[in-house]
Amino acid sequence: MYPMFIKLVLLFLVFKQSLSYQLDGVIVTLGDHEALQGIKNELIDPYGYLKSWNDSNSGACSGEWVGIKCAQGQVIVIQLPWKGLSGRLSEKIGQLSALRKINFHDNEITGMIPSSIGFLTNLRGVHLFNNKFSGSIPVSIGNSHLLQTLDLSSNSLTGKIPEGVAKSRKLYKLNLSFNSLSGAIPVSLKQSNSLAYLQLHNNNLTGSIPKEIGTLSKLQVLDLSENDLTSDIPISLADLPKLSSFNVSYNNLSGSVPFFLSNKFNSSSFVGNLQLCGFTGSSPCPSLPPSQVLPSSPATEIPKNNSRKLSIKTMLLIASGALLGVLIILCIIWICCMLRKRRNASKEKNGGNVRKVTTAAATGGEKGVAVSGTEVEAGSDMGGKLVHFEGPLVFTADDLLCATAEIMGKSNYGTVYKATLEDGSHVAVKRLREKIAKNLKEFEGEVNGLGKIRHPNLLSLRAYYMGPKGEKLLVFDFMPKGSLASFLHARGPETPIDWPTRLSVAIGTARGLSYLHSNENIIHGNLTAANILLDEQTNAKIADYGLSRLMTTNSNASVVATAGAQGYRAPELAKVKNLTTKTDVYSLGVIMLELLTGKSPGEPMNGMDLPQWVASIVNEEWTNEVFDLELMKDANIGDELLNTLKLALHCVDPSPAARPEVHEVLQQLEKIKPELPVSSGEDGGD
């Protein structure tokens, strides 16, 4: 009897447990149901997305209610972006005690942000950007110690940033940009030691930049531009080890830019501060007297009535420094002109032109057919050797060395300049770092091979120069739209990039990479968005291909490591250093995800890289959250986005064997949008 009784008890317990599993998450609690009804009643829903939010509480947690996700009968996520909602966000949202994520971005909701959000102690993410919220930021909003993301950007918020906004030690993204916030930047931000994203640009913030920001060791993005900040840039910011994006432009800052920042970031990070010096394109910083360099003690403090004398002295130093800079520039120009005149006189005396130019027609070459390098002015007035390849521009070594140069960027290979020649034409010049190139004979053999490569989606090497002291310059076509990285991530909200343009860039990149793999037997090894350049028609041109053939083994290893730091390196390269076609395909997949999401692989994503973050969102069946907001405005491209996303995830598979070859990627991309034209250009196709 007892064994039968035990069996019956066990059967009852199993039935009871299975029944609880069936009901768990289906029947929402009465309190949460009442809160959701209150939220619905204060929102205006012109497209009827909230019709599913009915009076019955049986469907709220069953998946029938749009945008609602539950756990054990309690609402944990409200997800309603891009729904055209207006009206107000009810204070009853504070009754949803288990709520972890609030997402109403890209609607037209007005009124104040509910202060009751501060009651939600389980809150991880608040996404209310691109609405019409007004009033001040609730003081209570930072009460959740689990808060990771707070994005209130692009609203009409006013008042000060609350000190308590950064209470959570897990906060990694804070974006309050494009509002009308005033007052000082809270010093309490130093508490957020997980903060990696701080964006406060386009507000009316005043006061100085807190030196305490320099203690945020995980900070990668700092944008304080277009405010009314004063004083100097704290030298503590130069100690931020992971800082990859920095902008304090268009404030009222003064003094000298700390060397580490001026050396790492270009002038666009600092322009618009009339009294700021020490960065590219600014006025020279004056040599300050010791009393202004060292902290003064009370005994040696300078009396106030001497301030006028000091300011006059400073002004004189600034003026003399600027005059010296002008004189140096004039001397350089004069020397270049004198050398050019001497060269021309020498040519006339010898009865001929030293320059020898071989065109494609003269050598029987055709468009798209590689031609051999032609030496131009070996042993010119400047010394050294210049070799030209096929192309529209012909210039001398003196033309090149006397050109106006502007730094465009730096990499492990060297520094890239925009050079403006005397006739107004532009070329890009890469000055290779010293001691990273192979010996002279090997270098010339390899660079002459690279100069023969021509394809519409590859940046053409037009010439190279070897100076008398061993310096090496590579001359390329100049791409007016810059890199894909800057095209995607350094633009304002008023310059959207549509899907056909993004897909065209992906297809062009795949075509260029396929040509390298199939026709030239070249593995790129450092394919990033920074190495994809765009011409006037936004055609993609892969740069830096084959440069590994010019470099020593040690210098190539550092380039691979850099690619990993930027988020493009295939995971197997952490253990095995051998580059393969599949490591390039991984990098291409990351770039495709970058085009789809609008996110940089270098951005922090809660401890995940870009492929991991995308995969986690897709696994949670919130796939629409992956795509860039700009792309979601077009309802006709949903299938194309999903197909491209699926292909990109295939490319970034952790297993190299599971990834497709690049020609297979190209075939799939061309099927997604077959009517996109082949890139045009003066170079031949494959």
Question: For 44-81, what is each residue's pLDDT tens digit?
Answer: 999 898 999 988 777 888 888 999 999 889 999 998 98
H/E run at residue 156 = strand 156-157
How many C-beta atoms lie closer than 10 Å to residue 484's C-beta? Answer: 25
DSSP 608: B
- Give the model confidence (pLDDT) of 1-51 as tens digits: 444 444 444 444 433 333 332 334 468 899 999 999 999 999 999 989 899
- Residue 88 corresponds to which tokens in the numbers above? 């107000």
Of 318 and 582, which is predicted with more confidence?
582
- Residue 523 corresponds to which tokens in the numbers above? 């593995």
Residue 612 pLDDT greater than 70, yes or no: yes
Beta bridge mates, 160: 182
Of the candidates 561, 552, 565, 628, the residue with the CA atom closest to the CA atom of residue 595: 628
Of 315 and 52, which is predicted with more confidence?
52
Residue 277 pLDDT greater than 70, yes or no: yes
- Residue 342 corresponds to which tokens in the numbers above? 């001497």
Cα radius of gyration (the chain) = 30
Secondary structure (3-state) at 635:
helix
> What count of residues does the chain have?
686
Beta strands (DSSP E) in 433-573 are 461-466, 472-477, 532-534, 540-542
Q: Contact 32/74 with Cβ under 8 angstroms?
A: yes
Residue 87 pLDDT greater than 90, yes or no: yes
Residue appearing with tokens 């944990």: 76
Maximum C-alpha span of the chain: 124
Residue 603 pLDDT greater than 80, yes or no: no
Residue 505 pLDDT greater than 80, yes or no: yes
- Amino acid at the residue 46: P
pLDDT more than 70, % of the chain: 76
Residue 244 pLDDT greater than 90, yes or no: no
Nearest-angstrom CA–CA distance, 438 and 431? 15
Of 308 and 29, which is predicted with more confidence?
29
Q: Tell me the H-state helices in 222-267.
A: 259-264
* This prediction's pTM: 0.50
The pair phi, psi for residue 625, each rounded to 5°, is -65, -20
Nearest-angstrom CA–CA distance, 45 and 86? 7
DSSP 678: P
Residue 360 pLDDT greater than 50, yes or no: no
Q: Contact 173/153 with Cβ under 8 angstroms?
A: no
Q: Give the pLDDT band (50/70/90) at residue 363.
A: very low
- Give the model confidence (pLDDT) of 121-179 as tens digits: 999 999 998 899 999 999 988 788 889 889 999 899 999 999 888 778 889 889 999 89
Of the candidates 594, 633, 630, the residue with the CA atom closest to the CA atom of residue 613: 594
Beta bridge mates, 133: none
Q: Contact 516/532 with Cβ under 8 angstroms?
A: no
Nearest-angstrom CA–CA distance, 451 and 621? 48
